[in-house]
Structure 1
Amino acid sequence: MDNQQATNCEDFANTRFIPVTLSLNERARLKHKIEEINEFRGRRMSLVRRTDKLLGQMQPVKQSMKVFVDYQTVELVKHTQVTIDSGL
């Protein structure tokens, strides 16, 4: 961190926040905006918790799955014609 950045940090740390007078309309808008932000944060955290729960419930995927089909079934499928009823 160079001297300029350090000075900016110190300036910010030493900043005194000045109370601002807001009209009732401005207060209502600001309050509504804060409520929206808090609602968004709540939904996001809820989604994170649900995702973590689902990930905890997932079973590991099996590396290989072997499918056994007997020879007669394969021959039957090869020689069976499938017709589609077009409804006409």
Structure 2
Amino acid sequence: MSKKDFEENKKKENNFIDDFEDWHSRKYSDEYRFRNKTPFFIKKTNYLVHGILLLTLPSLSLIISAILDLGVGFYIFFLLMCIPGSYLIIKHFKSR
């Protein structure tokens, strides 16, 4: 191998590393990953759906406590657990 060949191979190797670094930075950049999509943490939340989902557990506990006649504690649990769900539903209709 002559000195000239050695230098050409060295240049090719350096070019490969530079090309790989460019490709790698493009591959994992936010513009490449998200393009025109907004990230999940920027999307507007749907308070109505979240409120309804938060009301399912208290509603089920109310039905079970009424069927099994479990006492006043479950009714208090129902009232306390309805606060976050009803707050989100109210927040949904206020934001409209």
TM range (shorter): 0.3 to 0.5
**Larger Rg computed on CA atoms:** 1
Return the structure number with greater helix share.
2
The TM-score normalised by the length of structure 2 is 0.39
The TM-score normalised by the length of structure 1 is 0.41
